[in-house]
Each structure stands twice: as C-alpha cells, then as structure tokens.
Amino acid sequence: VPDTMAELTDLPGVGRKTANVVLQHGHDVVEGIVVDTHVQRLTRRLGITGKKRPEAIEQELLDVIPEGEWQQFTHLLISHGRAVCTARNPSCADCVLEDVCPSSKLDSEVDLASGEPWSE
C-alpha cells in the first residue's frame, strides 16, 4: 500500500479523506485532517467553516488547527458527531460545546451545517 498522499490520491477512486485514513491508521503518518461526514457537519455547525466541499473544509482546518492536533481533532469530532451532535437530532442539551455553538437548537433556529431551519 502506498505511503504518501500523492501516491494514494493517484490511485483511482482514492481522495484525500481515504488517503488520510490509510496514512494515519496504516502508516502512522499524519498529513492532514480526515474530513468525513461528522467532521464536515460539526465544523459547519460550530461556524468554523462555511465551506461545503471536504477538500475546502480540510484546507481551512489545516490553517487553524495546530499540526500536532490534526489526528486527535479528527477523532474527537467523529466521536462527538456519532454520540451527541448527530445529523438529524443532535442532543444540544447534553453537548459540552452548546454554549459556544451558533447552531444550538436551544438558541438558534437554523442548523448551519445544512442551512435549514431546525424541525420541531
């Protein structure tokens, strides 16, 4: 299995997300931030980015997240997205980020991840 971002992304069907996962978990190499559906949703809900494309989101995150934190940042957001900040019905009342989240259902009428109003 290739062990560089360039070699991996040259393979058919392999984008930066897959390449980042392979590098981090298969080779213990961190060259970026894995932007999966959870990272995409949470960074948009938190107002960290307004971008929609994973590549554009990753680039914005690389500019603000210290390089030594990239892997942990990914894992924490994925875990939080699965357990608390779910796609359809986030548990804002149980969220440790609720007080700083511009998308909180407790304070906002709009989900910044989708741009849609929260459903009742």
Per-block mean pLDDT, blocks of 10 residues, the chain (120 long): 92 92 89 95 97 96 97 96 96 97 96 91
CA nearest neighbour of 22 among 44, 7, 43: 7
The reported pLDDT for the residue numbered 13 is: 94
> pTM value?
0.87
> Which residues make Cβ contacts (< 8 Å) with residue 82, sequence separation at least 6?
38
The reported pLDDT for the residue numbered 120 is: 67
Residues catalogued as catalytic: 17, 36
> Which residues make Cβ contacts (< 8 Å) with residue 24, sequence separation at least 6?
30, 34, 71, 74
User: How far are the Cα atoms of 1, 10, 16, 119 from residue 39, in angstroms, in the given order?
Assistant: 25, 24, 14, 22
Q: Which domains does the chain have, with CATH numbers?
A: 32-117 (1.10.1670.10)
